Amino acid sequence: MLPQTPPFSLNGKSALVTGAGRGLGLAAAAALAQAGADVTLLARSRDALAAACAEIDDAGGRSRYLCVDVTDAAALDAALRDAPDFDIVVNSAGTNRPKALVDVEDADIDAVFDLNVKAAFRLCRTVSKKMIAAGKGGSIITISSQMGHVGSPRRTVYCASKHAIEGMSKSLAWELGPHGIRVNTVCPTFVETAFTADMFREPGFREWVCSKIALGRVGRIEDIMGAIVFLASDASALMTGSALMLDGGWTAV
């Protein structure tokens, strides 16, 4: 008898996506909804969230939203306290302040680490408590970056934050593994979004990026969607503590 491919379907699953109002977070939420999950979108912008949920629902998905600043630990805990149990959590909230090291200010360090590292850690702590109590296992996915595996000029703070995320995720994989909770990261290269638009307007920047990518092009938001569904589904049931590279070959050298 032939073995059966584990399902990529997320029917009957409940998912939470932070940073879901736009960009990669919205793409992750859309991907999960299209795969059958009931998705809760979380971000700071109520208007963006309402518009995103309307689009997901109009396309046949099921969604709701929570308007919360993930850097506010008390507000995040309060918002999730009465939320349903989540089988899937995607941490997509993040920021960057590209500067030369000598120009980096303490405010830049605090802003990047508060959102990219501290908020991610607190979210994992909060949702893992509920996942453990529910006893059903689950999947925690953080949108990291290729910059969590390499260095880059003018991105010292960002690289430091993403390297921290990679270490945190590996540790969480061991701590939560006995509860059937898998923890992985998705590591894209530069993706064309509103977040990176100013970078790509810099003279020569696109050419520099493409020269580092074996496929010769920058990423599109659609490029991360299949990876999110894969890590959320039973198709990746033996995968934890791993970084799924979506970098076009940047780290292959």
Nearest to 95 by CA among 50, 143, 48, 52: 143
pLDDT category at 208 given cuts 50, 70, 90 is very high
65 is catalytic: no
In the predicted structure, residue 195 carries a pLDDT above the cut 90: no
Number of domains in the chain: 1
Is 6 within a domain? Answer: no
The answer to whether position 37 is within a domain reads yes
Q: pLDDT tens digit string along 1-34?
A: 999 999 999 999 999 999 999 999 999 999 999 9
In a domain? residue 248? no
In a domain, 97, yes or no: yes
**224 is a domain residue:** yes
This prediction's pTM? 0.97
CB atoms inside a 10 Å sphere around CB 63:
24
For residues 245 and 190, is the Cβ–Cβ distance under 8 A? no
Examine residue 250 and state whether it is found in any structural domain, yes or no. Answer: no
Structural domain for 186, as ranges = 14-242
Mean pLDDT within 72-95: 95
Burial of 13 per CB tally in 10 Å (0-12, 13-18, 19+): buried
Instruction: Give the strands of the sheet with 88-91, arranged side by side.
Output: 62-67, 38-43, 14-18, 88-91, 138-143, 181-188, 243-246
In a domain, 1, yes or no: no
Q: Give the model confidence (pLDDT) of 69-80 as tens digits.
A: 999 999 999 999
Tokens encoding 176:
């939560």
pLDDT at 82 (0 to 100): 87
Q: Give me the mean pLDDT over the 204-226 stretch.
A: 97
Domain annotation covers residue 128: yes
Query: Where residue 71 sits, what CATH number does that domain have?
Result: 3.40.50.720
Name the active-site residue from 65, 158, 230, 250.
Answer: 158
